Amino acid sequence: MNAADAPYRIAPPAISPGACVGIVAPAGAVRRDEVEAGIARLEAAGFRVRVGAALWRRLGYLAGSDAERVRDLTEMFLDPAVDAVFAARGGYGCTRLLPLLDPQLLRSHAKIFVGSSDCTALLQFLVDHCGIVAFHGPVVATLAGREEALTGLLKVLAGSHDTTVRLPRILRGGHAEGVLRGGCLSILTSLLGTPFAPKEQRTVWFFEDVNEPPYRIDRMLTQWSQAGCWRGTTGVLWGEMMGCTGPEGSWDVWEVIAQHTEPLGVPVAVGLPSGHGANTLTLPLGVHVRLAEESLQFLEPCVVPNGIA
């Protein structure tokens, strides 16, 4: 692959028990009991926790003003005592922050960022605009009682995870390589036509969503096709699509997905346990991967052991 196909991205330093995790709320206002329960699980796993100044703020449906949420996120990246940054929850609000972030500043202080759902906007920004590997994984508010998800997350962030993941169901077989990018489909679709839209490159896309009926998935994928956003796509992975059901007798979500991805002529797999499900698989975005028959293979490290390049 040439440089245009594989832009240089920074794999952030790995973390292990004893590291300090910064908790921020870049989107919706949080429920304190849920976030505190998640923090307790991180502390029980041996991590120190630092919370952002605006974590408990509420401004309408947001966790404080845009300026407060940007300040928390940026300060956590700049603070040398903080080893990784975890999102407290999703909700809505991350896209409001994108014009206020300094990509060069974040890149020069690259570290682990974990989030999902609405935080897809930040993951996409970190991967495409900052050149940092970012992590699609469980938010802090969901960690209590989800031991498998937490264990898997910490393995990925320590660099001790399996480099091959079995794909539950294949819609179209074959082999493909590219950069793994993606997240919540509705959030990625909201970025189309903006300066923060995904850049064209050789990509294995990962998509998931929650509580979106099939006709809305159809509408979003129609927009991707009509906007020419599939250029460079080498493969497509789909998460569990929790609650994405419609009335009896209509197409189900997998039929809609099959209709839209079949013309691409690339490998397609569905049902990967990552997204809004109970046993969320953490996926490093911005790394090179290979789809080979029934497996997803990570071809490069997503973190640097002990922070040594």
Give 19-28 pLDDT, tens digit per residue: 999 999 999 9
208 is catalytic: yes
Which entry of 136, 186, 190, 208 is annotated as an active-site residue? 208
Give the type of residue at 266.
V
136 is catalytic: no
Rg (CA), the chain: 18
Give the type of residue at 21.
V
Return the structure tokens found at 77. Answer: 């990246």
Q: pLDDT by residue (tens digit) across 165-188?
A: 999 999 999 999 999 999 999 999
Q: Is the four-CA dihedral 44, 50, 56, 58 of positive or negative sign?
A: negative
36 is catalytic: no
Assign 239 a pLDDT band (cuts: 50, 70, 90): very high
Q: Is the four-CA dihedral 153, 154, 158, 163 of positive or negative sign?
A: negative
Please tell me the class of the 164-298 domain.
Answer: alpha beta
Which entry of 136, 161, 260, 276 is annotated as an active-site residue? 276
Assign 2 a pLDDT band (cuts: 50, 70, 90): very low
pTM over 0.85: yes
Distance CA 2, CA 162 (A): 27
Q: Are strands 169-172 and 268-270 parallel, antiparallel or unpaired?
A: antiparallel
Domain ranges across the chain = 20-162, 164-298
Q: Are strands 233-238 and 48-51 parallel, antiparallel or unpaired?
A: unpaired
pLDDT at 5: 38
CATH topology (fold) of 20-162: Rossmann fold (3.40.50)
Which entry of 117, 186, 190, 274 is annotated as an active-site residue? 117
Mean pLDDT, the chain, integer: 93
Question: Do you know the residue count of the chain?
Answer: 309
pLDDT at 277: 78
pLDDT at 309 over 50: no
pLDDT at 294 over 60: yes
Window from 13-22, 100-109, 134-143, 247-256 with minimum mean pLDDT: 247-256
Q: What is the mean pLDDT of residues 65-72?
A: 98
pLDDT at 103: 96
